[in-house]
Amino acid sequence: MTHPTTTSWDDLGKVRPALADLYRDLHEHPELSLQEHRSAALLAGHLRTAGFETTEQVGGTGVVGVLRNGAGPVVMLRADFDALPVEEKTGLPYASTVRAVDAEGQDVPVMHACGHDMHAACLVGAATLLAAEAG
């Protein structure tokens, strides 16, 4: 079975600046696992703007977005958005300077050292384009 697609590179180009801003924001403001309250609220807001119904605080800090589009195939997108207790030394203008108290009570530096900031931004991009396509 084939499915027609109307999403184009132009559509991606329209959302790319906002996604880059979201990525930099998430990168600059990382949160340890089960502490991602700011990130969850930010991501839920983007999903709502795209037309998704959202449920927050799933499992503590998770977000679920549902786009109602009638009967038919179901698509699921998933991304992590927790950060790690690692000191950032990249020199990026949006580098993390965040410190947090971890589960053991230790004050630790925090950064997105494994790409979850990018994963979350890409999920928002894909969700936004899917919602626009569902129109």
Give a yes or no: residue 5 inside a domain.
Answer: no
Q: What's the pTM?
A: 0.90
- C-alpha 47/C-alpha 56 separation (Å) is 11
How do residues 74-127 score in pLDDT, each as one tens digit? 899 999 999 999 999 999 999 999 999 999 999 999 999 999 999 999 999 999
Model pLDDT for residues 22-49, shown as the tens digit of each residue: 999 999 999 999 999 999 999 999 999 9
Give how many domains the chain has, as a whole number: 1
In a domain, 79, yes or no: yes
Q: Indicate which CATH number applies to the domain containing 116.
A: 3.40.630.10
Q: Is residue 4 in some structural domain?
A: no
Could you list the residue range(s) of the whole structural domain that residue 27 is in?
Answer: 11-134
Instruction: Tell me, yes or no, whether 100 lies in a domain.
Output: yes
Residue 60's region, left for phi above 0, alpha for psi from -120 to 50, else beta, is left
Residue 2 inside a domain? The answer is no
